[in-house]
Structure formats: structure tokens, C-alpha cells
Structure 1
């Protein structure tokens, strides 16, 4: 009596190949959903209704301790060698609205965001970085909370943190891997890893929670929706650039250089 024969080697290889293709297609579908969310972010921003409980939680307790002056949805202001929550008097103000999980914001960080920071550090204008919730997922909240804690506890490390977060998001998109971006625990762990790598004190790193980011972003979203921005369309999203209260539209400029020139021109008026 012969022994039962297993699958032929060729069939086994085919089965494994089919399984691998199925896994890759699953990852691709997940990442397409992420990217589609980013595309929608350019077209429309969802206005978050903030309840009294969320607003109150932003003003007292752990949030006030962890975020300091940035508590309550206040943006991060870069001017000369300072990272604060206050705009100096008598200077032009460039508002940059971004979300850490917006792929368009991540792509724009090097050609536009970096140049705006350089100009702000030279004192040409104050750069007000508004972190808002578009293309939202767990990593949005964790990375936002990490940015605020870093800006408060280690302001000299903030720009490096900002760049590393965007670099990680781009890496995940290029790898078609949304496993960290879509998982709360993994998101918090990754952000804490980046903060520790930059030398942010452990006592501050350990204050990071996704809830801190959720509460902050709820208020920041409300502030963005209610802001008086001249020239803003009814449908808007990130990245958005506003100079002294007037939007400089990305859609009207074909290159990053053109957009930067328009921002510079408006800031000097």
C-alpha cells in the first residue's frame, strides 16, 4: 500500500505565491484607504464639534501639565531661536496648517516647510504651526501629542522631531504599510521611540497618550474652522498656508518655489 502523497512541489509553490499576492493586495487596499483619506483632506475638512467635557479636559489635569502653554489647541510658534506659543508683536505671521498623517503635508515638508522654518529662524516672519486633524488615524493623535510635549520640554529638539515624524509617515506610505499608523499602541510606542532617540526626558515622554492628542486636535479643529481667513474656500484642507490672515493658495502655484515666492511677497507687505 502506498503512502498518501503530499502536494507536488510545483503546486506548493503556486499556493504560496497566491497567498503572498493575497497578503500584498490586502496591504495595498489598506494603504489605498489611507491615501484616499489624504486626498479627501485636500478637498474638505471635517469640523469637529467639541463638547464641554473635552474642552474642560484640555484646560486642567494631565493636559495642562504635559502641554503647558500649548494646551487648549494653541499652535507652535517658531521665531528666531525660540519655540513658543506666543507670536511676537510687530512681525508678519505665516500660518502653516498641517496634519502629521496627511501624505501631502509629509511630501511638502522638505521643499516648503523646511524653507519656512529657515525664514522664521532668520526673523523674516513668525511661523505659526497649526496641527489639525485631517487624514485622521491613531498616529495623528500620538504624533501631535508628541510634538506638543517635545516643543514644551525640549524646544531645541522640536524641528528634528517634526521632520522625523513626517519621514516615518512617508516611509510607511512608500512601504504600503499602515500597521503602525492605524494602531494606537504601536503609534504611541513609535512616537515615544522617536522622542527618546532625540533625548526628550523620559518623564516627559511617559506623559504621551493618544487621548492628549485627541483632545488637543478637537479644539484645534474648532479654532481652524472659526478662524477668519481671507480668501478661504468653503471646502479646504491641508497643507494650508496663510499670511497675515490671507490664504496663499497652493492650487494657484505650480511649483514649491512659486508658492514660497508668493508667501515671501505677502509676508513683506
Structure 2
């Protein structure tokens, strides 16, 4: 294990490449931080749960800073002093509820759009200068297969993920010719705290989503992200869809037939 650094301090890179991972307190974000650290990156992790990211940063020899992507002031404090950034992993996001459009809860929709779409825009905008200055920057945006197809009762989440994906794909066009690669990773069913958040902490309801099939785990997606980051500067993995064998689409898996 790499020697721990004081969480929150401005990183001394020691010549290492620097990766920023948002939403890193659990799940895909945490697993990605560990994978990139194992590949030699100095990883700066951010999330709202400071205790978790502080512990993670100590474990991987990285930097842990509080981050709420829905709060511009929080983002400004998080990026302060990050003069070198080689990789940005926009992972912060999530879903709330499964209400049909006719019963939509506006606060849930607002949170999903603010977190998945506006949060991604804010983090990317804040770190673009450093990514370009690195000479070989990489922006990874973790969307979802929900960014590619809708499913019943998921309009709030699928619309937000579609928008997040379009923001990322538009950026791919806007940055053409600059030394920044862009990779969109679209996971299918991954057993993390995602469904616990969606169902407002209902563990039983969350567990039922994955019962009867074998979903992906966070490390599966993290390994894909780390692989994309390991490619040489001229190789851009534009979009990667990764699903468990038991899932064919957002609407069809071995349980739904």
C-alpha cells in the first residue's frame, strides 16, 4: 500500500499522473479510485461522505476532499490547487424513485438532473484547462445503458442519463484536435448502493432488483475504466457498453424474459 497523505491537502505529484474521481465514496467510484491508484495514479477522490473518502484516500495514498457536484462552491473548493489533472472520471450521479411520468415527483427529477447532468458539466468545465495542459487528458463519463434506451417508470433517470450522454458526446466534437480523449462508459445492472439510493434506503427492495440473476460488480466497471485510461494518446475508446451476461437490454433480462 502506498504511504498515506494528509487528506485534503494540495497533492505533490512526485511526477505521477493525477486522476480525479467523483462519487468515490462507494461502488463504481471507489473501485475506480482503487484501480487507478494500483496503476500508479495519484487519485483525488471526492464525495459528500467525507469520512468514507478520507478513509479511501488514506488506503490508496491519495487525496480525499468533500464534494457535492450540485453545489458550485463545493466544486470550487474541491478543484482549488489541482493544477495537474490527467484523468477526470465523472462518476457522481444516481437515481431516485420509479414513478411513471403521470406521477412524477419533481424534486426527484430535479435532483437527478442536477446531479447527473449539471454536475458533470460543472466538474468538466472546472478541470478542462488542467486536462488540456496535461498534454494527454482523458475524461471518462459514467452514464448508463439508460443513456441509450428508456424503460418503463424510469423517465426521470433515463432522461437525465440521455442528457448526460449527449453532453459528453457533444464535448467529444468540441474538443476534437485538442489533447483530450473522451470515453463514455455505459454500465448495465451493477450491484452497488445505486438501488438503495433509488429506493430511499429500502435494502429489501434494492436486493430484489438483482435477485435471480448475476449482476456486474463495481470492480467490473472499474477495470474497464482503468483499461481506457491505459491506452496510448492516439487511441480513444469513445463508448463502452458493459452489461452482465444475464441482461440483454435495459428492459430485458433473464427475469423479465
Q: TM-score, normalised by structure 2?
A: 0.30
By relative contact order (CA 8 Å, sep 6+), the higher-ranking structure is: 1
Larger radius of gyration: 1
Greater fraction of residues in helix? 1
Q: TM-score, normalised by structure 1?
A: 0.29
Greater fraction of residues in strand? 2
